[in-house]
Amino acid sequence: MKKWLSIVTLALLSLVLAACGSDAGANSDGENTDEITIGYFPNINHVAGMVAEKQDLYSETLPDGTKVNYQYFPDGSSFMTAVETGDIQGGLVGPGPAMNHFTSGAKINVVAAGSTGGTVIMAREGAGISSPEDLAGKTFISPRVGCTHDVQFETMMHEEYGMTSDRIGGEMKHVTGKPATYASLFEAGNVDVATVPEPWASSIEEQGKGKVLVDTPDVAYGETLPAAVFVTSQELVENNPDMVESIVEAHKKATNFINENPEEAKQIAIDKIKEITDQELSKGVIDQAWERIDFTYEIEEKHLQEFANSSYELEFLKEKPDLTGLVDKSFLK
pLDDT in tens, 99-132: 889 988 999 999 999 999 999 999 999 999 999 9
**Which of these, 40, 68, 4, 28, lies nearest to 236 by C-alpha position?**
4
Q: Which one-letter DSSP state was computed for residue 108? A: E
One-letter amino acid at 170 equals G
Asked if residue 329 belongs to a domain, the reply is: no
CA distance 74 to 180: 9
Question: Of 193, 218, 243, which marks where a domain is finished?
Answer: 218
If asked whether residues 101 and 123 sit together in one domain, one would say no
CA distance 91 to 69: 11
CA distance 333 to 329: 7
Q: Is the pLDDT of residue 333 over 90?
A: no
- How many independent structural domains does the chain possess? 2
If asked whether residues 160 and 309 sit together in one domain, one would say no
3-state secondary structure of 2: coil
Asked if residue 128 belongs to a domain, the reply is: yes
Looking at the DSSP bridge assignments, the partners of residue 155 are none
Q: Is the pLDDT of residue 32 over 60?
A: no
If asked whether residues 128 and 214 sit together in one domain, one would say yes
Per-residue pLDDT at 43: 86
If asked whether residues 103 and 130 sit together in one domain, one would say no
Asked if residue 332 belongs to a domain, the reply is: no
If asked whether residues 165 and 235 sit together in one domain, one would say no
Q: What is the mean pLDDT of residues 255-276?
A: 96
Asked if residue 245 belongs to a domain, the reply is: yes
pLDDT digits (tens, 9 = 90+) for 156-206: 999 999 999 999 999 999 999 989 899 999 999 999 999 998 889 999 999
Per-residue pLDDT at 33: 58
In terms of residue numbers, what domain contains 248? 36-117+224-314
Strand extents, DSSP E, 159-294: 173-176, 193-197, 210-214, 226-233, 293-294
User: The domain that contains 161 carries what CATH number?
Assistant: 3.40.190.10
Looking at the DSSP bridge assignments, the partners of residue 228 are 115
If asked whether residues 124 and 93 sit together in one domain, one would say no
If asked whether residues 108 and 237 sit together in one domain, one would say yes
Asked if residue 108 belongs to a domain, the reply is: yes
**Which of these, 66, 97, 13, lies nearest to 246 by C-alpha position?**
66
pLDDT digits (tens, 9 = 90+) for 282-322: 999 999 999 999 999 999 899 999 999 999 999 988 888 99
Question: Of 196, 218, 240, which marks where a domain is finished?
Answer: 218
